[in-house]
Amino acid sequence: MAGKWRLTVDEAFCASHQLRNYNGKCENLHGHNFGVTVEVEGTRLDPAVEILVDFGELKGLTRAAVSALDHTHLNDLPAFGVHNPSSENLARHLFLDIRDRLATAAPQVRLVSVSVSEKGTSRATYLEEGTQD
């Protein structure tokens, strides 16, 4: 059976939000230092360098997606005009953004998942079932 490699990078951003229809204290304006974890995988290493993708490149793509959310009030962003800016929806939003960036910059890897945490003890993960390399 052929093996594969999985790489993980972490990033963070600060933002405020309000969860509409929450019926609790999180419906009030509040903020978080959100953590973001991105996992990619692939089956072929670059033959010259023997890496799947440069960590710096992966981190840069992640940082570019996260920077659009950093120091904002998430409810004011078009992506969260209808959908609540919950950790679940943030994870999906970032997944779609990073997947598009990877398709151009690093097509040899597949985005596996994006996780968003509001605290170190709780996280939401978004992933899509896809075809394997």
Task: Give the model confidence (pLDDT) of 60-74 as tens digits.
Answer: 999 999 999 999 999
Tokens 């072929």 appear where?
Answer: 44
Q: What is the CATH number of the domain that holds 10?
A: 3.30.479.10
Residue 118 Cα distances to 1, 17, 37, 90, 123, angstroms: 38, 11, 12, 11, 7
Examine residue 23 and state whether it is found in any structural domain, yes or no.
yes
> Which pLDDT value is given to residue 1?
66
Count the domains in the chain.
1
Examine residue 77 and state whether it is found in any structural domain, yes or no.
yes
Q: What is the mean pLDDT of residues 79-95?
A: 97
Q: What is the mean pLDDT of residues 33-51?
A: 96
Examine residue 22 and state whether it is found in any structural domain, yes or no.
yes
Domain containing 38: what range?
A: 5-126
Q: What is the pTM of this model?
A: 0.94
CB atoms within 10 A of CB 116: 27
Examine residue 132 and state whether it is found in any structural domain, yes or no.
no
> Which pLDDT value is given to residue 131?
47
Examine residue 15 and state whether it is found in any structural domain, yes or no.
yes
